[in-house]
C-alpha cells in the first residue's frame, strides 16, 4: 500500500492543481450535462466530454506559467459576470424592503429603502446630491 501511495505522490508532485478556472469549467460541465439530459442532443454529450477532459488536463499540467495566464484571463472575463449575478441575487433577496438605483454622476449602485415618492439622495461614493423617484 505504501508503494502505491509513493507512486501517486511522485506522479502528482509538481502538477498545477485546482484553481478558479477549474471550478468554472466544472460548472460549465454540469450545465452542459443537464442541458444534454433535458434536450437529448448528442452534440452536447461531446462538448461535455471535451470540457471535462480539458479541466482534468489543466489540473494535471506541469506548465504553471501557462495555467496561471489562462486563469488570469478567465478571472478577467468572469469578474463582471459574477458581479452582475451577485447584484441580481441581492435585488431579488431585497425586493420587498429596498430599491437599487444608479448614481447619476458616478454610476455607483445605491441601495435605498423602499419608501414611495420623491427623495433627495447623497451618493456615498461621489458625495453629490440627486433626486430619486420611487413608484412602488
CA distance 110 to 100: 6
Same-domain check for residues 78 and 107: no
Based on the domain organization, do 87 and 30 belong to the same domain? yes
Domain total in the chain: 2
What pLDDT, in 10s, does the model give residues 54-110? 999 999 999 999 999 999 999 999 999 999 999 999 999 998 888 888 888 898 888
On whether both 81 and 111 belong to a single domain, the answer is no
The answer to whether residues 22 and 88 belong to one domain is yes
Looking at the structure, tell me whether residues 108 and 132 fall in a common domain: yes
For residues 102 and 88, state if they share a domain: no
| CA separation for the pair 75, 53 (Å, rounded) | 20
Answer yes or no: do 104 and 55 share one domain: no
Q: Are residues 37 and 71 in the same domain?
A: yes
Same domain, 17 and 57: yes
In this structure, the answer to whether residues 105 and 84 fall within a common structural domain is no
C-alpha distances (whole Å) from 52 to each of 29, 59, 63, 68 are 7, 11, 19, 19
Instruction: Note the pLDDT tens digit of each residue in 5-38.
Output: 999 889 889 999 999 999 999 999 999 999 999 9
16 plus 76 within the same structural domain: yes
Give the structural domain span for 118.
Answer: 98-136
**Beta pairing, strands 117-122 & 109-113:** unpaired
Amino acid at each position: 500500500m505504501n508503494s502505491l501511495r509513493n507512486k501517486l505522490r511522485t506522479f502528482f508532485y509538481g502538477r498545477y492543481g485546482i484553481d478558479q478556472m477549474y471550478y468554472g469549467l466544472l460548472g460549465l460541465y454540469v450545465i452542459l450535462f443537464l442541458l444534454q439530459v433535458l434536450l437529448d442532443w448528442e452534440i452536447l454529450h461531446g462538448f461535455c466530454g471535451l470540457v471535462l477532459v480539458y479541466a482534468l488536463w489543466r489540473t494535471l499540467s506541469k506548465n504553471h506559467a501557462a495555467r496561471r495566464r489562462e486563469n488570469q484571463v478567465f478571472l478577467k472575463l468572469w469578474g463582471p459576470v459574477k458581479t452582475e449575478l451577485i447584484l441580481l441575487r441581492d435585488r431579488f433577496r431585497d425586493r420587498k424592503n429596498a430599491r437599487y438605483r444608479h448614481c447619476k454622476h458616478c454610476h455607483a449602485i445605491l441601495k435605498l429603502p423602499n419608501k414611495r415618492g420623491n427623495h433627495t439622495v447623497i451618493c456615498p461614493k461621489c458625495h453629490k446630491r440627486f433626486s430619486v423617484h420611487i413608484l412602488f
